[in-house]
């Protein structure tokens, strides 16, 4: 487990109920949370989730948006589930 003080950014995960890749994306999000990453899950079928998805121009699910501590997008994965290692590498660099 990596020390939380090194995880300064946030991982935003956008999902919906009828998305065939979303269960895998949610599992990855849960695993990253257990490792100490700040993962926020948004259901695009809710008003709040749809608002956040609109702000980020999310048009497919699942979508992962990785942000630094100033909320700048450093990477995104739209309509796909990235490898856990790829997310760790990106988050380690912010």
With CA atoms as reference, report the closest residue to 82 among 4, 45, 27: 27
Instruction: Determine the pLDDT at residue 68.
Output: 96
Sorted by where each begins, the domain ranges of the chain are 4-92
For residue 25, the SS3 value is helix
Say if residues 80 and 21 touch (Cβ distance below 8 Å).
Answer: yes
Contacts of 37 (CB under 8 A, 6+ apart): 7, 11, 87, 91
Q: Residue 19: what pLDDT?
A: 96
pTM for this structure?
A: 0.91
pLDDT, tens digit, 9 for 90 and up, residues 63-89 = 999 999 999 999 999 999 999 999 999
State in words which class domain 4-92 has.
Answer: alpha beta
Assign residue 36 a region: left if phi > 0, alpha if psi is -120 to 50, beta otherwise?
left
Model pLDDT for residues 3-60, shown as the tens digit of each residue: 544 458 999 999 999 999 999 999 999 999 999 999 999 999 999 999 999 999 999 9
């Amino acid at each position: 487990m990596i020390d939380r003080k090194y995880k300064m950014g946030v991982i935003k995960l956008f999902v919906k109920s009828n998305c065939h890749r979303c269960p895998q994306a949610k599992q990855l999000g849960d695993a990253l949370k257990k490792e100490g990453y700040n993962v926020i899950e948004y259901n695009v079928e809710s008003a709040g989730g749809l608002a956040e998805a609109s702000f980020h121009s999310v048009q497919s699910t699942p979508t992962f948006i990785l942000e630094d501590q100033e909320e700048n997008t450093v990477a995104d994965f739209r309509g796909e589930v990235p490898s856990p290692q790829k997310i760790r590498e990106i988050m380690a660099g912010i």
